Structure 1
Amino acid sequence: MQKTTKERLLETGLTLLLRHGYNDLGVHSILEATGVPKGSFYHHFRSKEDFALQVIDSYMAEVHGGLDASLGDRTLPPLDRVRRFFELTREKYRHEGYLGCMLGGLGQELAGVNETFQSKIETCFSQMADRIAACFEEAREDGSLSPQADPLTLAELVLNCWEGAALRSRLRRERSPLDSMLDFYFSSVAATTA
């Protein structure tokens, strides 16, 4: 099925925002990459900011799809389901050339200067943390985590660690920071219940 003009713009926007960031990406570059006329762009988006915010929504739809696939896989124990989400994300990063997390990149670039993006990106991370925390709660209930463990704190910590590893992976253009982070985090979490 052929993609709509808006879908093509959003898909291209995701790639370009990952590569260039927000400030270095002009509308002209988006139009050039998609072959879409300027009028069509402004038919779908009020501004470059509106476009980037909708790209974030599109990105989050992918993230939630990954969370659904991983956290919803009841054939795996809860901790393995959380780890699986990050392993699938690592594979996505590999296909993109280890450019990292779009939320992390935009957050670093814009959070200090644009409250709209700061709020949007923090909301996205909070949604992810809530979903991961629910899986950690299952792990606490089945004894895989200590009864004293705080699932939301653990979820926020794994996201924070992941974002740091994603930045290092982007700098190096390879996966070892992601692998090391996952191994360290999940062996540390498992050790607290032993």
Structure 2
Amino acid sequence: MTHSTKQHLIEAGLRMLLERGYNGLGIEALLTETGIPKGSFYHHFKDKEDFALQVVDAYMAQVHAGLDACLQDLERPPLARVRLFFELTQQAYREQGYMGCLLGGLGQELSGVSEAFRRKIEACFAAIAGRMATCLEEARQRRELPAECDARELADLLVDCWEGAALRSRLRRDPASLTAMLAFYLRSVASVGTGAEA
């Protein structure tokens, strides 16, 4: 029961943080939404910041599960695995009403005022880029990318571009920015690879 109470709070908090941001999330509103008493909240979390940081951890667990499902699918070539992850992420954004990426939203809101959030969110982006870099390095080893390319730089650029497109998608409530960005990135990477083989 204790675990499910905490999980219920985290799941509700994730939805509310996506919709309202950190500063718009009130603990009382969270407790009303979940029907959980205040004492139970403070049994699991020191304060609002601790709660939000644990929500980020839960969000990242979902992200890593998605990365595992896509990037470890050895039936697909590496670049197709990368594409699949972002296509499924875009589908999740659509189902959530284009609320975008929790990391991007909190990073924009809090990185200038909270060192704890700045470090946490940067570490999350670095972890995602690291997973992508491993897959892109496999593409390089398979000569789908030129031998001289830096897989980590390509991965960092991909995450940076995706986060910018996710923001535009949220602003527009439309997937066009995400679709265009992903197509442009993969087309550019593929053309570089083709040029290297020529």
Normalising by structure 1, we get a TM-score of 0.98
Aligned length: 193
- Is 1:44 the counterpart of 2:44? The answer is yes
Q: Distance in 1 between matches of 2:170 and 2:159?
A: 16
- Is 1:18 the counterpart of 2:18? The answer is yes
Provide the residue aligned with 2:101 in structure 1: 101
Provide the residue aligned with 2:54 in structure 1: 54
Provide the residue aligned with 1:130 in structure 2: 130
1:160-175 correspondence runs (5 A): 160-175=160-175
- Is 1:113 the counterpart of 2:126? The answer is no
| Long gaps (5+) in structure 2 | none
Q: CA deviation at 1:174?
A: 1.3
Q: Distance in 2 between matches of 1:181 and 1:102?
A: 19
Q: CA deviation at 1:149?
A: 0.9
Q: Distance in 1 between matches of 2:36 and 2:160?
A: 37
Q: Distance in 1 between matches of 2:102 and 2:59?
A: 8
| Long gaps (5+) in structure 1 | none
2:146 is matched by which residue type in structure 1?
S
Q: CA deviation at 1:26?
A: 0.8
2:54 is matched by which residue type in structure 1?
Q
Provide the residue aligned with 2:73 in structure 1: 73
* Poorly superposed stretches of 4+, deviation over 4 Å: none
Normalising by structure 2, we get a TM-score of 0.96
Q: Distance in 2 between matches of 1:136 and 1:88?
A: 18
Q: Distance in 2 between matches of 1:159 and 1:92?
A: 17
Q: Distance in 1 between matches of 2:19 and 2:146?
A: 41
Q: Percent identity?
A: 59
1:102 is matched by which residue type in structure 2?
L
Q: CA deviation at 1:193?
A: 1.4
Q: Distance in 1 between matches of 2:145 and 2:81?
A: 14
Deviations 1:31-83 (A, max 9, x none): 01100000010001000000000000000000000000000000100011011
1:184 is matched by which residue type in structure 2?
F
Provide the residue aligned with 1:31 in structure 2: 31
Q: What secondary structure sits across from 2:193 in the alignment? A: coil
Q: Distance in 2 between matches of 1:155 and 1:193?
A: 15
Provide the residue aligned with 1:155 in structure 2: 155
Q: CA deviation at 1:25?
A: 0.7
Provide the residue aligned with 1:184 in structure 2: 184
Deviations 1:113-168 (A, max 9, x none): 10000000000001111110000000000010010110000000000000000000
* TM-align CA RMSD: 1.0
Q: Distance in 2 between matches of 1:149 and 1:77?
A: 18
